[in-house]
Structures are given as C-alpha cells and as structure tokens.
Amino acid sequence: MDVPMSWMKEYAPVTADIKDFIEDITLSGSKVEGYTTVAGEIKNVVTGYIKEIVKHPDADKLVICTIDAGQGKDLTIVTGAPNVKVGDYVPVALDNSVIAGGKEIHTGELRGVVSEGMLCSVEELGFDRHDFPEAPEYGIYIFPEPVELGKDIVEVLDLKDEVVEYEITSNRPDCFSVLGIAREAAATYDIPFHYPEITVKEEAEGKAEDYVKVTIENAELCPRYVARVVKNVKIGPSPRWMRKRLRMAGVRPINNIVDITNYVMIEMGQPMHAFSIETIKDSHIIVRNAKEGETITTLDGVERNLDPSMLVIADPEKAVAIAGVMGGENSMIVEGSQAVLFESANFDGPNVRITAKKVGLRTDASSKFEKGLDPNLALEAVNRAVQLVELLGAGEVVPGVVDEYPNKREPWELSYNPAWINKFLGTDISEEEMQKIFEKIELKVDPVNHIVTVPTFRPDLEAQADLAEEIARFYGYNKIEATLASGTPTVGKKTYEQTITSLVKDTVIADGLCEAMTYSFESPKVFDKLLIPADSDLRKAIVISNPLGEDFSIMRTVSFNGILNSLATNYNRRNESAGLFEVAKVYIPKELPLKELPHEIPTLTMGMYGNMDFYDLKGIMEHLMNVLGMGKVAEYVTEKSLPWMHPGRTASVIVNGDNIGYLGEVHPAVLKNYGIGTRAYLAVLDMEKVVANANREVVYQALPKYPAITRDIAMLVKEDVTVKEIADIIKKNGGAYLEEVKLFDVYQGAQIEAGYKSVAYSIAFRSAEKTLADTDIADAMDAILKGLAEELDAQLRDK
Amino acid sequence: MKDKLKLIQEKALAAFQEAKEIKDVDDLKVKFLGKKGELTAILKEMGKLSAEERPIIGQMANEVRQDIEKMLEESKKRLEAAELAHRLEKEKIDVTMPGKERPEGHKHPMSIVIDEICDIFKGMGYEVADGPEIEKDYYNFEALNIPANHPAKDEQDTFYINGDILLRTQTSPVQVRTMEKGKLPIRMVCPGAVYRSDEVDATHSPVFHQLEGMVIDKNVTMGDLKGALAVFAKELFGENTKVRFRPHHFPFTEPSAEMDVTCFACGGEGCRVCKGEGYIELLGCGMVHPKVLKMSGIDPEEYSGFAFGMGLERVAMQRYGITDLRLLFENDAKFLKQF
C-alpha cells in the first residue's frame, strides 16, 4: 500500500522527519517497506526562458536556443523539439543534472555546436500527459504561465512529496487506506486524527430511487449495496491535485469520474465502481450468482468465463460487472455518458478472492475486498465520492441514497482485565494508560466495568489477547522488559532417533562423504529411469494435486533419485570424484488415494563415484555398522532383486534377520539414463530399522592375558564360492578357543587353475585361562579343514 | 716391555683418530684388545717377567687397556654422531610438498545452521521435536486458527494431495501435535522441511526449511518471549547482537511480532548485507493465541506461552554470503566442501 505523506498529513499532522516517521510507524505495527520521493532522481533541472532560436547550421531538424535559466549568463542549448518558440518558459536540465531514470546530462556537442544542457519533456521528468494534460503529445513541456527563472523544477512542479510503502497484514483491512494509516500515525504520535468532513449538497432534482433499483439475491456474498446517482455528468480530466495524488499512490489518472472512484478507494479503502446508467436495463441492479456458462467482457477488453460460484452485478438481461473484481465493458463510462451510478458495495472477502483467482484477474479492488471490508464504510465512501463530484463540478448529485443493507454490522463489546493484560505481557501498565491507548484507536471505554466497544472497522479485535496486542503496540514492544522464563525446569535433549541419526551423519562425514540436500518430490518418469517394473509397489507414490510441474509431482518412494541426479551434476561439471549422502524421508502410502497420513521413513542414502570400488563403499558401511554396535551381527548377502542395481555387485545388509538396506554398484543402464559416464555406487539404509537394531550399550571386555596362537591356511576353491561361506565353515568348526577369522588374500591368475581362486585366512585361537599349545587346537584345525574340504571341495594349499 | 706398551698406546691413539666408520672402530677393537690382539699378545708374555716387574707392568698394561677402551668408546660416539648427522642430512625431504589426501566429508551448510540453532535451544532446556511433512489440513491450518477461506491459506500457496491432506507449509503443525500430547510444560524446537508452491529462482524454492519453537507453562509472559529470543540471537550472532521487536500478524499468535537483529556484518551501522537498515529480519514470534491453546486442549486461563518460527535458508545464506538458493540443492562437491 503506497501512501503519499502529504495526503496522510491532511488527516494526521505528523511533523516527524521521514526517517523517524518510518521507524516510529513500523514499531507501532505498520511495517514500512521503503519510501520514494516523487521527484525521483531529478536533480539540477530548473526553469528557463527561451530568448532566441536559430537554425542549426549542419542539421535540419535541430535548432539552437539561447536560454536564460537564471544562471548569471545565457546558455546555448540545442534541441530537436518542434514545439518551442521564443518567449516560452521551459524546464532546463543544466550541465551535470539528472533526469528521470537516473540519466545524467552534461555539456556536449551536437553536430559541432556546444549544448550546455537539455530542454525537457514531461516524460523526461518521469511523468506523462495524464499528469500534465497540458503537455504536448510530442515535445518540450511549456509552462502555461510565466515562472521565476532558475528555480528548481522539483519545487515549481511541487514534486517534493514522499510516498511510503507499507506492508499491511491480512488482519488489518482498515489500514489499506490513507485514512487507516493516518489513524495509526495519529495514535503513534498521540496527535489528533481529522476524519474528513463529508457533506453533499444534492443539487439535482429527483430522488435516487427514481433512477435506480437494487436487488440483492445473495446477501451472504453481498451484505450491502449502496448506490448514488449523478446527473449531467461532464467527463473531463480531474484537477492536477487529484491526478498528482493518484499518481503518487500508483494509480493512473483516467478521467474525473474514474479518478474519483479510485481516489475514494485509496483514501477510505472502499473500492467503488461507476456505471453508465443508460446501459443498465430498466435501471435495475441485481446482485446475483453468475449462471453456468455466462461470460462477461471486462473493462480491460478480455472475455471472462463465469461460473455459479461467482457473484456478478447484473441488470435483468446481462451481467455488467464481476462483483468486487472488475466492471464490464458493456456498462463503462464513456464520453457522453449522462447519468452515472456510483456503486459502493460490500462483498464477501473469500468469495472475491476465489473469484479473482479463478478468472485470473487480481485488481486493486479485489485485493481490498478479499481482506474483508467493513460494510459500514460503504455509505461514507459513496458520500465522499459524490462530494468530490460536486467539488470538481463533474456533475449534479441526485438527492438520496439507495442502500440495501439487510444485516447491519454493529459495534461489539469486549471486556478486559488490566491485571491479566499486565501478567500476559510482563508489564506494569496503569489502567489509565490502557484506557488512553484504547481511546487513541477509537475504542469506547467503560473504565469502571472494564469494557471496550470496538468500532466495526476492527474485526481483528475479538478477544482480550487482541486488546493486549493493542496495548503492547502503543506502549511499545521494545519497552517490555526482556525476562527469562522461570517456571518448571525442563531438560533440553535430542530423542534417541535424533542421536542415532547424528551419529550416522558424523560417521559417514568422517569417512569422507559430503552431506547433500535434495527435493522430496520428483517426476513419475523416475521409475522408468530406474528400471522399476510397471507393477512394482514403489510406483504407488503419493501424487501432488497442484504440483509446480510433472517434474515435481510425486512424493518420492525411493530415496536415491536426488542423489543420482546430484552425482550426474558433479560428473557433468567434471568433478573427478564425488561422495554424497543424505538422510531424508521417503513417503510410503498405506493406501491410495490417500486417506490417512503416509508412513514417512527417514532413509540414509550414500552415493559416490571416482577412484573407488565396491569395497570402498563396503568399508564405510562396515565402519558405520561398527559405530552403531551392529558390526558383529551385520551380514552381507548377495542381492539380485533391485532393478536399479548391478545384480552381481550388490549386497543386502541383514541385521538380526532384518533387511535394513543394501549397498552396491548402480546398474550400468541406470547410469546411462542419468548420464553418469563412470561406475557409481549407492548404499541405502532404512533409518527406522537402523535405530531399532543399533546397540550403543558397551560392556568392557577384559584385555587378554595369554597370547593367541594363529594358523594361516590357504585353499583353492571354485571361484563362485563366497568368502562368507568359507568363514562360516571356519567359525562353525573352530571350537571354543576360536577368536578371530581374518581373510588376508584372494588370488586368481597365473598358477591357479581357471575357474578357481586361492583364498587365505589367518585364524586366531586364544584362551582366557592359559597359553594355548598346538595340541589344544589340533582338533579344531582338523575339523575346519575337513569341513572346508567336504562342504566346499576346498583343496588346501601348502602355505 | 714398557716401551712396547707405550708403542701400542700411541699406535692405538693414531689408529682410532683415523677411524672413519664404526666398522673401523670394531676392527681396531679386535686388533688391539681381541684375543689375538696386540695388547693381549703382550699380556701373554707377562709370565716371563720377574716378580717385581710384574705388578708394575701389569698396572701399566691395565692403564693402557683402559685408555684404549676409552678411545674406543669416544671414537664410537664420535662416529655415531657423525653418522646420525649424515643420515639426518641425507633424509631431508621437501616439506612444502602437499600432504597425502584424506577423504574429507562435510556437513551441509543447512545442517550446520540447524544443528547450531538446536544446540542453542537445547542448552536452554528445549527438546528437539519432529513431525510429518505430509500433514493434515487441520494441523497445518485449522488448529492454528487459520480456518477455511482464510487469506493466509492462499498466501502460503499450498501443495495439496487432496482436500484434506497437504504438504506442510510451515513447521507450526508440530506445535499443535506437541500440545496435543498433553505433557506440560513444553519447551521445544522443531526444525524441518516445508513446502510452498514457489517457482525455483535465486531466492525461492518449493522446498525449504524452517525452525519452530514453543514454550508453554504457567505465567509465561511476552517479556519471557523477548528474553529467550534475545539470548538466542546473541548465541547465534555474537554477544553484541541487539534485537528489535516489531508488531506483526500471525493467526496463531496474539500479540504477534517480527524480530530483527542488528546486522552481523556491520553491527548495525548499515551496509550491503542489511541494505542500509542496520537490522536484519530474523523471525516471527508471538504469544500463543488462546484459541490455539484451547483447540489443543490446554486451558488458556491457566497456561500461556510463546512461539516463534524462522526460515533457515536465509540464515545460512546470510551467514555464508550465498546469493543463490539453488546452490543449496545442487550438491556440487566443490560447493559442499566449502563448509
């Protein structure tokens, strides 16, 4: 909301400097976004007088002017403008001046003639002919009357005003107006607030109800409709003061009638509309819901499709406006309109908002209505409008008002408890001061019974807490003493889940991975990219009904698409390697369409490529399992069922019989789909299962007193025997003293028969009671070797 | 014999002085003191001496032996020292060569900010809570005093799954869920992802992060709200940080405020970071609306409380001078390794 300071000061005579004012009004609750001066960047542009004009010797279209601009000497200025004559008073941009748009003007040469500045058009000063209708369509602005020479144009054209931009919160529709801001300013400085005196002479003959009849068919969506009639309308430009104010408030001046409606909207916050009565059939205004398939061409010339949820202003034949949004072309004021109907109505805020959204037309009017306006404003506003009609001589006001207002909104009472307010705010404000603050914002106070009467323009004041806010605002938020809550002590902590999650993140960061952040929604095409079969449950994703586009339309059911995309980004940017991880959720619906909230499963995803292989990733996984106390129980089982993974290079992670995730190499076809031109690796862990299986209980084990005895064995086995199978047999047959089974070599190649591999283990035995002798482990070793030979057909190699 | 001993002593002295390596010294040891050594040879002849001469020569031989042993020891030390010095000299390396690369992991800047803020509040006795991202309309809006058709609902450009279920537009529903558990007093913060249908650009993202906080107890005042948040701001931005509260509007708090902090870059003088204002908007806050308390089953006559919420991307971007929000979601290793 842009409010010119001069306009506001007419009603609240603030004297503070603009910078102080901005801070003060912001701290009392009307947040200022910034301010501009009307003059903008204009600098060093003065009034001047054309003493002489001669032709430019080398240019047909240029002339050389001798100018007296009060500079002590005459200036030579070259111009191409066709409209200047000797004796004209004109704006002169001197050497080193700035005109609209920040353009700097310096002395320069134009076809060999020195020009010591520039003569200006209104456009070059940042305006147009709506602001200065007397300005020529093309050419230099010429002052209609002689002016003192050398005077700053900013003063002569009265451009010294400031326009302040406010951010108005949705609970304060009353502040969407010059008067609303003025009321706040007056309360902020505790100065008088002058509401405009609204009187209408009503000099025309007849009565309004003779000219117009109003029927409200839907009083819920239109609580009030006020109409006044003006006869013998004289359409023309509105006076300069009005045009200037409109312009400052960001509205283009059009003509006196339209300008008046806009002026009242800005000043009072009540949108209005002016209809040409001749175009209203039977002079009968009907406020009704639109019909199925009905259309209207709005003032901007666009045909709009309507539906029955929308409210229209109509005559018995046709819609003439979309209520609260925009008037129709069929009823607009034109040159020659004789009688005008001023509509000042109240429409349901949410309905206007939805309608504006549906027809794709958010106007100044609709944005005001949608906040929910006070229906009591409508009458004052229409009276203000016709008062201005009389003031501008734009027509004759017909006596009387047509006012359909079935359910009048009355002021309401609220009780307050000063002690409660002080306790709530942590203040010690006297009852008298509270009363004073209430009165400043136009609440009527009954100080004995502690009751205030709330004016109808403050629907936000519903309960005592709202009153406490008013007290706090004008007492000063920053005067409330900051205290530290005493009360019952609480322990600040993370949950167990959060602790485990932190541990997981810290561990993989220590292992060299960088934390990533990806979107939780993605494209349904992801499933094809990941080779997920059409009948997979993973495709049963939750769909967003109004997504930003297909690419962001489903809630992810797999956690790694974002990480794969990020790996691709890194690959395409020629980063030699990348190791990323993320703990984020997947969203698994219990049923579709969604009836209850889905299962959101936090998931750890690690993805990497570069100078590495499967076992680098597995090392990280094992480290993580160790940190989480699952190292001893985690098993890694060949996993061939994940379509996006390399079937020969993927393992599931099984902990206590629970499949908690997997790790492996990404399927080459998937890598191709993502444009990753190198092997990449992926690990995924279900964090709920990790949390359930993590074991952070540590019980100290006594350090060994007696030395271990180790045996190294090497064997030949078929190449598809996994080392897990071998280790399992060793463990099974190792006896009571077996302490550790450690793989130390796997070899295939020269000296090894094709289809076989050599595998070497170091097996350690230890007793807590004694130093073991060879004889103590002989049986165990025999059993191990026998087991390997029988179950795996292993051939022991000499070692 | 005396002369012989003297001669051996002199020879030994010269030999040891000339020794260049430890090995030479060992050889000399054998040569002079070994079983077949020169001194031993002389001592073997001791038997031939008279009874008077024997002790004198014996003592002299002993002195020579000790002397040679001393020379041996000294030579050895000298040579060992020289050898060590030589080795140290020989072993010098170019210490300006780069170290061996270790895998280096980094936290995401958003996580750094989230963890830091949570730690501050944990220190003040707040629990860290969590809540669903796919949320019921009731928790995201209605229970927060944002009824159907409230303009605030539109302002927040919500992603809907269906009429009832949506992607939470704020972390505030976790307030309601915490209150509904009915365990009082409450001191909690909740960081998390939130969603609004903003097209992606340098300052907008349809997914971003907020942190929500809430305190509910008996006798909580607006002064307590100011106190808690002032402490938080000092912890986050430094001891000299000042805060300023401006009235604002949120449907679920009353009174509501926005809190500005003095610009961490210029300390309040006005600079590019704060656009000359001296202050930076940090968070929205207010006293929990009595209606909200009541809807969640808490008696507003007995309990009061405050709540606050802040956008975390902005905190991270301001802190690290990041000017494009999209960088946070691209996951370029060159970016992530800077934090």
Chain A residues in contact with B226 (beta carbon < 8 A): 477, 480-483
Query: Minimal CA–CA distance to A531: which of A649, A676, A662, A641?
Result: A641
> How many CB atoms lie under 10 A from the CB of residue A432?
10
pLDDT tier, B60 (very low <50, low <70, confident <90, very high otherwise):
confident
pLDDT for position A528: 97
Question: How many domains is chain A partitioned into structurally?
Answer: 6
In degrees and rounded to multiples of 5, residue A98 shows phi and psi of -125, 130
Determine whether the interchain pair A483/B193 forms a contact, defined as Cβ–Cβ distance below 8 Å.
no
B-contacting residues of A 239-278, CB under 8 Å?
Answer: none
Q: Pick from B90, B118, B147: which residue ends a domain?
A: B90
Chain A residue at shortest CA distance from B216: A487
Q: Which residues partner with B127 through β-bridges?
A: B188
Q: Pick from A454, A479, A504: which residue ends a domain?
A: A479
Place of tokens 């089982």: A637
Distance, in Å, from the CA atom of A48 to the CA atom of A62, rounded to the nearest integer, reads 19
The answer on A451 and A333 residing in a single domain is no
Amino acid at A594: L
Residue A19 is part of which domain span?
Answer: 2-38+161-189
The answer on A635 and A724 residing in a single domain is no
Query: Does residue B139 belong to any structural domain of this protein?
Result: yes
The answer on A602 and A525 residing in a single domain is yes
pLDDT for position B17: 85
Q: Pick from B90, B121, B137: which residue ends a domain?
A: B90
Distance, in Å, from the CA atom of A335 to the CA atom of A342, rounded to the nearest integer, reads 17
Query: Does residue B97 belong to any structural domain of this protein?
Result: no
pLDDT for position A53: 93
Say yes or no: A588 contacts chain B, CB-CB below 8 A: no
The answer on B307 and B230 residing in a single domain is yes
Spatial contact of A406 and A450, defined as CB atoms under 8 Å apart:
no
Query: Does residue B168 belong to any structural domain of this protein?
Result: yes
pLDDT for position B255: 95
Tell me the nearest-neighbour CA distance from B287 into chain A, angstroms: 9
Average pLDDT over residues A192-206: 93
Q: Which residues partner with A771 through β-bridges?
A: none
C-alpha separations of A548 from A284, B32, B89, B168 in Å: 45, 98, 69, 16
Among A544, A576, A581, the residue to mutate for chain B (most B Cβ within 10 A): A544
Determine whether the interchain pair A485/B215 forms a contact, defined as Cβ–Cβ distance below 8 Å.
yes
Distance, in Å, from the CA atom of B105 to the CA atom of A331, rounded to the nearest integer, reads 69
The answer on B273 and B226 residing in a single domain is yes
The answer on B210 and B275 residing in a single domain is yes
Chain A residue at shortest CA distance from B209: A517
Query: Does residue A488 belong to any structural domain of this protein?
Result: no
pLDDT for position B121: 95
Mean pLDDT over each residue of chain A, to the nearest integer? 93
A-contacting residues of B 40-69, CB under 8 Å?
Answer: none
Of A388 and B154, the one with more pLDDT:
A388
pLDDT for position B154: 64
User: ipTM for the complex?
Assistant: 0.85
Determine whether the interchain pair A552/B244 forms a contact, defined as Cβ–Cβ distance below 8 Å.
no
The answer on B245 and B125 residing in a single domain is yes
Distance, in Å, from the CA atom of A5 to the CA atom of A159, rounded to the nearest integer, reads 12
Closest partner residue to B330 (CB to CB) among A171, A486, A569 is A569
Determine whether the interchain pair B105/A488 forms a contact, defined as Cβ–Cβ distance below 8 Å.
no
> What is the CATH number for A357?
3.50.40.10
In degrees and rounded to multiples of 5, residue A120 shows phi and psi of -115, 145
C-alpha separations of B221 from A246, B17, B233, B303 in Å: 44, 92, 19, 10
pLDDT for position B85: 93
The answer on B84 and B170 residing in a single domain is no
Residues 6+ apart with CB under 8 A from A170: A371, B150, B151, B152, B155, B249
Q: Pick from B60, B90, B120: which residue ends a domain?
A: B90
The answer on A472 and A430 residing in a single domain is yes
Query: Does residue B104 belong to any structural domain of this protein?
Result: no
Of B61 and A457, the one with more pLDDT:
A457
Spatial contact of A219 and A247, defined as CB atoms under 8 Å apart:
no
Tell me the nearest-neighbour CA distance from A544 into chain B, angstroms: 5
Query: Does residue A196 belong to any structural domain of this protein?
Result: no
Query: Does residue A485 belong to any structural domain of this protein?
Result: no
Among A597, A603, A608, the residue to mutate for chain B (most B Cβ within 10 A): A597
pLDDT for position B38: 82
Residues 6+ apart with CB under 8 A from A251: A262, A266, A364
> What is the CATH number for A128?
2.40.50.140
Q: Which residues partner with A230 through β-bridges?
A: A340, A397
The answer on A366 and A261 residing in a single domain is yes
The answer on B299 and B171 residing in a single domain is yes
Strand stretches in chain B, DSSP E: 127-128, 134-136, 165-167, 186-195, 207-217, 243-250, 253-262, 279-288, 304-311
Distance, in Å, from the CA atom of A465 to the CA atom of B304, rounded to the nearest integer, reads 11
| Weakest mean pLDDT among A241-250, B22-31, B316-325 | B22-31
Q: Which residues of A38-52 are buried (b: 16+ CB within 10 A; e: fewer)?
A: bbbebbbbbbbbbee
Distance, in Å, from the CA atom of B213 to the CA atom of A289, rounded to the nearest integer, reads 45
pLDDT for position B329: 95
- Determine the 3-state secondary structure of B48 from DSSP: helix
For residue range A282-323, what is the model confidence (pLDDT) as tens digits? 999 999 999 999 999 999 999 999 999 999 999 999 999 999
pLDDT for position A221: 96
Determine whether the interchain pair A349/B231 forms a contact, defined as Cβ–Cβ distance below 8 Å.
no
Say yes or no: B157 contacts chain A, CB-CB below 8 A: no
Of A247 and B206, the one with more pLDDT:
B206
Distance, in Å, from the CA atom of A715 to the CA atom of A726, rounded to the nearest integer, reads 10
Determine whether the interchain pair A465/B123 forms a contact, defined as Cβ–Cβ distance below 8 Å.
no
The answer on B216 and B114 residing in a single domain is yes
pLDDT higher than threshold 80 for residue A714: yes
Average pLDDT over residues A50-58: 92
Chain A residue at shortest CA distance from B289: A465
Determine whether the interchain pair B197/A546 forms a contact, defined as Cβ–Cβ distance below 8 Å.
yes
Say yes or no: A173 contacts chain B, CB-CB below 8 A: no
The answer on B253 and B202 residing in a single domain is yes
Tell me the nearest-neighbour CA distance from A602 into chain B, angstroms: 11
> What is the CATH number for B193?
3.30.930.10
H-type alpha helices, A58-135: none
The answer on B228 and B138 residing in a single domain is yes
Distance, in Å, from the CA atom of A599 to the CA atom of B133, rounded to the nearest integer, reads 10
> What is the CATH number for A538?
3.30.930.10
Chain A residues in contact with B259 (beta carbon < 8 A): none
Distance, in Å, from the CA atom of A765 to the CA atom of A777, rounded to the nearest integer, reads 8
Determine whether the interchain pair A520/B133 forms a contact, defined as Cβ–Cβ distance below 8 Å.
yes
C-alpha separations of A530 from A366, A538, B44 in Å: 48, 11, 95
For residue range A113-163, what is the model confidence (pLDDT) as tens digits? 999 999 999 889 888 877 787 888 889 999 999 999 999 998 888 788 899
| Weakest mean pLDDT among A448-452, B59-63, B216-220 | B59-63
pLDDT higher than threshold 90 for residue A791: yes
Determine whether the interchain pair A487/B218 forms a contact, defined as Cβ–Cβ distance below 8 Å.
yes
Spatial contact of B111 and B339, defined as CB atoms under 8 Å apart:
no
pLDDT for position A227: 97
Query: Does residue A26 belong to any structural domain of this protein?
Result: yes
Tell me the nearest-neighbour CA distance from A76 into chain B, angstroms: 41
Determine whether the interchain pair B290/A600 forms a contact, defined as Cβ–Cβ distance below 8 Å.
no
The answer on A124 and A59 residing in a single domain is yes
Residue B170 is part of which domain span?
Answer: 109-336
pLDDT higher than threshold 80 for residue A755: yes
Say yes or no: B307 contacts chain A, CB-CB below 8 A: no
Determine whether the interchain pair A498/B220 forms a contact, defined as Cβ–Cβ distance below 8 Å.
no
Query: Does residue B102 belong to any structural domain of this protein?
Result: no
Say yes or no: A458 contacts chain B, CB-CB below 8 A: no
Determine whether the interchain pair B108/A170 forms a contact, defined as Cβ–Cβ distance below 8 Å.
no
Q: Pick from A156, A175, A200: which residue ends a domain?
A: A156
> How many CB atoms lie under 10 A from the CB of residue A89?
19
Among B222, B250, B337, the residue to mutate for chain A (most A Cβ within 10 A): B222
Say yes or no: A572 contacts chain B, CB-CB below 8 A: no
Chain B residues in contact with A587 (beta carbon < 8 A): 133-134
For residue range A404-432, what is the model confidence (pLDDT) as tens digits? 999 899 999 999 999 999 999 999 999 99
Chain A residues in contact with B173 (beta carbon < 8 A): none
pLDDT higher than threshold 80 for residue A663: yes
Q: Pick from A648, A665, A693: which residue ends a domain?
A: A693
C-alpha separations of A402 from A258, A275, A376, A711 in Å: 20, 15, 14, 108
Query: Minimal CA–CA distance to B257: which of A425, A415, A428, A190?
Result: A425
C-alpha separations of A662 from A447, A628, A647 in Å: 72, 16, 12
Q: Which residues of A551-579 are buried (b: 16+ CB within 10 A; e: fewer)?
A: ebbbbbbbbbbbbbbbbbbbbeeebeebb
Query: Does residue A701 belong to any structural domain of this protein?
Result: no
Chain A residues in contact with B248 (beta carbon < 8 A): 29, 31, 169
pLDDT higher than threshold 80 for residue A571: yes
Determine whether the interchain pair A573/B332 forms a contact, defined as Cβ–Cβ distance below 8 Å.
yes
Among A352, A354, A484, A588, the residue to mutate for chain B (most B Cβ within 10 A): A484
Determine whether the interchain pair A492/B122 forms a contact, defined as Cβ–Cβ distance below 8 Å.
yes
Query: Does residue B219 belong to any structural domain of this protein?
Result: yes
pLDDT higher than threshold 60 for residue A572: yes
The answer on A345 and A231 residing in a single domain is yes
- Determine the 3-state secondary structure of B336 from DSSP: helix
Query: Does residue B244 belong to any structural domain of this protein?
Result: yes
The answer on B245 and B155 residing in a single domain is yes
The answer on A626 and A525 residing in a single domain is yes
Query: Does residue B150 belong to any structural domain of this protein?
Result: yes
The answer on A303 and A226 residing in a single domain is yes
| Weakest mean pLDDT among A177-186, A377-386, A490-499 | A490-499
| Residue A264, token pair as written in the block | 């009242």
Spatial contact of A351 and A218, defined as CB atoms under 8 Å apart:
no
Determine whether the interchain pair B108/A514 forms a contact, defined as Cβ–Cβ distance below 8 Å.
yes
Q: Which residues partner with B193 through β-bridges?
A: B209
C-alpha separations of A316 from A218, A281, A284, A285, B123 in Å: 15, 6, 7, 8, 70
The answer on B163 and B307 residing in a single domain is yes
Determine whether the interchain pair A492/B193 forms a contact, defined as Cβ–Cβ distance below 8 Å.
no
The answer on B135 and B70 residing in a single domain is no
Query: Does residue A300 belong to any structural domain of this protein?
Result: yes
Chain A residue at shortest CA distance from B195: A520
Say yes or no: B337 contacts chain A, CB-CB below 8 A: yes
> What is the CATH number for A729?
3.30.70.380
pLDDT tier, B152 (very low <50, low <70, confident <90, very high otherwise):
low
pLDDT higher than threshold 60 for residue A799: no
pLDDT tier, B182 (very low <50, low <70, confident <90, very high otherwise):
confident
Residues 6+ apart with CB under 8 A from B125: A489, A490, A491, A492, B187
Query: Does residue A202 belong to any structural domain of this protein?
Result: no
The answer on A420 and A399 residing in a single domain is no
pLDDT for position B156: 59
Tell me the nearest-neighbour CA distance from A573 into chain B, angstroms: 8
Query: Does residue A181 belong to any structural domain of this protein?
Result: yes
Size of the A and B interface in Cβ pairs below 8 Å: 255
Distance, in Å, from the CA atom of B103 to the CA atom of A37, rounded to the nearest integer, reads 57
Among B241, B336, B339, the residue to mutate for chain A (most A Cβ within 10 A): B336
Say yes or no: A546 contacts chain B, CB-CB below 8 A: yes
Report for A71-80, A166-175, A603-612: range of highest mean pLDDT: A603-612
Going by the DSSP 8-state scheme, the letter that residue A629 receives in this structure is: T
Question: How many domains is chain B partitioned into structurally?
Answer: 2
The answer on A374 and A421 residing in a single domain is no
A-contacting residues of B 268-287, CB under 8 Å?
Answer: 287
The answer on A540 and A622 residing in a single domain is yes
Chain A residue at shortest CA distance from B101: A512
Tell me the nearest-neighbour CA distance from A379 into chain B, angstroms: 25
pLDDT higher than threshold 60 for residue B155: no
